[in-house]
Structure 1
């Protein structure tokens, strides 16, 4: 009985310590203006409703949705910027019911001026703060004007080379002379896949980072796969230190593209790592 009581006391103490660490991390994140979210693509084998539940189990509140995910939760259809006004209201109710905040949407690349206008109108109606995209050059001036009109940010994403935006220089060229609401969605894992140093890339983009797709990889190669944050080669600690020094404020989207059928334990461990690191900054 005494051993059992001691074990329970130890477990209780550990639980309190973990709770305190998480609380400290959240308070520090709020002070820094950092939001821990998840790109719903992490859970693309599931409906959006199921993905929101999985995020909840990982201690993640903020959401970056992607186009084409089956909505679920009793709502027909897929999440897309062409959803009807009624469907948009249903989805907003789903987020409210699940206690999640939709803050970003992408990667989405409209191929006409009319569709870009539809996308920004949709984002405005849904309360989306930033759109993640890899826009064609001919629409950059239009996008700039739409960003200013709606006060919505455009985050240019970097898929690995030969993607046009694989290098920070291409992002800087695209936003030069345009809206201050245009910047980078820094996918640090894809930079590693392209043979780039994520710390140096962030330094090059200083002041122009809208959001991040946060990834730690097992190796420096195009074929690398995700691992729990802090256990790979993406220099997560240094990345966070640089972002703090740059006074970055915004979204860290966990995008875990491995063990698709059940990556919740790894995402949960990564979120815990992030909160612990934040509490020490």
Structure 2
């Protein structure tokens, strides 16, 4: 089984190289800015369907959320460390057949006795990092497993006072810890908490591993700031990209489009086009 897994990773590496060489790189890609899908965007659908939708968008990276139904060929299984070795292998092969790499999983809000299972699963699946919101008393054990398994931890910021909702709070907990611990900043959630995303990203310089990138509409009648096509909302997308260029950021722009759940591919395509257009101007 170990030999088979090794052969899979070698094949996946060759596949990634072939994909990269088969098309002209955008300026964003040359900068190390990689667009990835967060499968929660497709939470009405299965993991199998999410991989296909990611392929349809022309993207090659995905972050899968724990608990998503696996779908056809997996019975009643859901995504997470409960997948059997055979199911994990089946999933890796399925993703590779779609020219998609599972680079991360999250957002994990695990209990203390679950963390090693999460890290072991991420390692077995060949992930680069996990997106997570560890309990504030769990950082010692999370740091320990991050180093043991060689998996980065990109901390998320859900819009509530119990999370790491502002950069100062996150840095209070990880600022003096291993560089494997960092941020997966949700720029929409910053705005929802009254924080300007541009200086917030600046505060996270050196710890920024990925982002849940988006644009949001002005506040609606019920106080909801809904996701919209990038460039049509209240966030300064160009300003954020300029800040990321300044700090020479290299990492993932994870698309988590939380609107029009049943058919959001057209809006995501518009957002991708806008991102590449603005990146061409900035870089």
Normalized against structure 2, the TM-score is what? 0.87
Q: Deviations over 1:91-141 (max 9, x none)?
A: 11110121101101000111023x111111110000111111110122101
SS of equivalent to 1:253: strand
Q: Give unmatched runs, 5+ long, in structure 2.
A: 1-22
8 Å Cα contact 2:107-2:156 kept in structure 1: yes
Aligned to 1:223: 224
Q: Deviations over 1:37-85 (max 9, x none)?
A: 1100001000111111212222221100001111124222111122111
Aligned to 1:239: 240
Aligned to 2:112: 112
Q: Which has the higher Rg, Structure 1 or Structure 2?
A: 1
8 Å Cα contact 1:57-1:268 kept in structure 2: no
Q: Deviations over 1:11-59 (max 9, x none)?
A: xxxxxxxxxxxx66x3322321111011000010001111112122222
Change (3 A) 1:220 1:209: farther
SS of equivalent to 1:75: coil
8 Å Cα contact 2:80-2:121 kept in structure 1: no
8 Å Cα contact 2:26-2:276 kept in structure 1: no
Aligned to 1:142: 141
8 Å Cα contact 1:141-1:178 kept in structure 2: no
Aligned to 1:91: 91
Higher relative contact order (CA 8 A, sep 6+): 1
1:220 Cα offset (Å): 5.0
Number of residue pairs aligned between Structure 1 and Structure 2: 257
Q: Give unmatched runs, 5+ long, in structure 1.
A: 1-22
Aligned to 2:74: 75
Normalized against structure 1, the TM-score is what? 0.88
